[in-house]
Chain A
Amino acid sequence: MLEPSVDLYGAAHERVREHLSDLLDRAKARYALVVDRKGFVLLHARAVWAPAPPSLDSLATLVASNHSANAAIAKLFGDDGFREIVQQGADVGTYVEELGPDALLLAVFDGKTTLGKVKVHAARAAVEIRSELAALRESDAPAPTFDASWSESTEKLLDGLFGPRDS
Chain B
Amino acid sequence: MSTINFAAREINFKIVYYGPGLSGKTTNLKMIYERVPGEAKGEMVSLATEDERTLFFDFLPLDLGTVNGFKTRFHLYTVPGQVFYNSSRKLILRGVDGVVFVADSAPSRLRANAESLRNLRENLLEHDLRLSEIPYVLQINKRDLDDALPVEMIRQVLDPTGTVPAFEAVASRFEGVFEPLKGVSRMVLEKLAQKT
A interface, CB within 8 angstroms of B:
1-10, 13, 36-43, 55, 57-58, 61-62, 65, 68-69, 72, 142-147, 149-151, 153-155, 157-158, 160-163
Contacts and interface: CB of A to CB of B under 8 A. Distances in A.
B130 A1 contact: yes
Contacts of B108: none
Contacts of A38: 1, 3, 14, 94-95
Q: Please provide the 3 A-B residue pairs with the shortest distance between their CB atoms, ordered closest to farther.
A: A38-B95, A9-B6, A162-B182
Contacts, number: 142
A158 B1 contact: no
B3 A150 contact: no
Nearest to B36: A161
12 contacts: A1-B130, A2-B97, A2-B133, A38-B14, A43-B7, A57-B43, A57-B61, A69-B56, A69-B88, A146-B68, A146-B193, A162-B182
A25 B59 CA distance: 32
A145 B68 CA distance: 10
Contact of B57 (A42, A65, A154, A160): A65
B112 interface: no
Contacts of B40: 161
A40 to B, nearest CB: 5
Contacts of B57: 65
Nearest to B45: A58
B64 A158 contact: yes
A38 to B, nearest CB: 3
B94 to A, nearest CB: 6
A1 B181 contact: no
Contacts of A55: 42-43
Contacts of B64: 154, 157-158, 161
Secondary structure call for the B interface: mixed
Given A2-B195, A43-B8, A153-B67, 19 more contacts: A2-B133, A3-B2, A4-B1, A4-B3, A6-B6, A9-B6, A9-B7, A37-B95, A40-B5, A65-B57, A65-B92, A144-B4, A144-B196, A146-B193, A150-B193, A151-B190, A154-B72, A157-B65, A158-B186
A96 to B, nearest CB: 16
B189 A2 contact: no
B33 interface: no
Contacts of A41: 8
B118 interface: no
Contacts of B12: 40
Contacts of A10: 6
A158 B185 contact: yes
Contact of A2 (B7, B179, B188): B188
Contacts of B36: 161
